[in-house]
Structure 1
Amino acid sequence: MVQSINTKVDLVIDATSHMGIADYGKIMIGDKGFEFFNSRDAHKFIQIPWEEVDHVIASVMFKGKWIPRFAIRTKRNGMFTFSSKDPKKVLRAIRVYVDPNQMVQSLSFFKVIKRGLKSKFKK
């Protein structure tokens, strides 16, 4: 069994990890870090201490009405993408431990296209 890094748990919610093939499990947010535990395989888990979190990136659609997924960028290990049943509740729980300035919105489809065109014509 996997040992949790948290001593106090704030939120446990059903979620999906989008690392390659989608893994279904639970997200646990606590005082020491962010954890994802796979519901089928106990050896597939992700534990991210709050000191390692660089940015939390939320994909926001329909002017904040719907958040399909969010990503956690770490300082050393790259980016981890998740979705949950209630992402707003998850992001509010993360905001307690991560600086709100490190929580950002991802670029929209049109902003990505605009940046690409600007860089194409800038050369």
Structure 2
Amino acid sequence: MAQSINTKVELTTTGVFYLGLDSKVGKFLIGDKALEFYNDKNPEDYIQIPWDFILKIGANVSGRSIGRHFQVFTDQGTFLFASKDSGKILKIAREKLGNEKIVRLPTLLQKIGSGIRNIFRKKNK
């Protein structure tokens, strides 16, 4: 049986963890010690990311709305999640990590625009 490392849970919600081309539906447990994700089909298939190991969390923000997807950056890699309650998750993460570790990720159009600018910069050199 999977054992949570949190002693107090502040939010429980459903969501998705994306792993390459595969995705896993499960539950988030956001608590005092870590961000945890447990797979619905197999509770032994879980991810526990302690707050101390998180370098930053990024989400797409357009206007005042936060997208469903967010990325957790650690020294071990990047984890991509989605949840209908991503705003609540990010709010709790901001309390645990601080404002400087919650960042805005570039939108798809911003990524395309920077790629085009980089192509023209290389040609001008």
- TM-score w.r.t. the length of structure 1 is 0.91
Using the TM superposition, give the Cα deviation of residue 8 of structure 1 relative to its aligned residue in structure 2, in angstroms. Answer: 1.1
Pairing of 1:47-86 with structure 2 (within 5 A)? 47-61=48-62, 63-75=63-75, 77-86=76-85
Maintained 8 Å contact 1:35/1:47: yes
Larger radius of gyration: 2
In the TM superposition, structure 1's runs of 4+ consecutive aligned residues that sit over 2 Å from their partners are: none
Using the TM superposition, give the Cα deviation of residue 66 of structure 1 relative to its aligned residue in structure 2, in angstroms. Answer: 4.4
Partner of 1:48: helix, strand, or coil?
strand
> 5+ unaligned residues in a row in structure 2: which ranges?
none
**Corresponding pairs, count:** 121
Provide the rounded CA distance (Å) in 2 between the counterparts of 1:31 and 1:109.
Answer: 33
Determine what percentage of the aligned residue pairs are the same residue: 35
Maintained 8 Å contact 2:60/2:69: yes
- TM-score w.r.t. the length of structure 2 is 0.89
Using the TM superposition, give the Cα deviation of residue 43 of structure 1 relative to its aligned residue in structure 2, in angstroms. Answer: 2.3
Residue identity matched to 1:42: P
Maintained 8 Å contact 1:60/1:68: no
Between structures 1 and 2, the one with greater helix share: 2
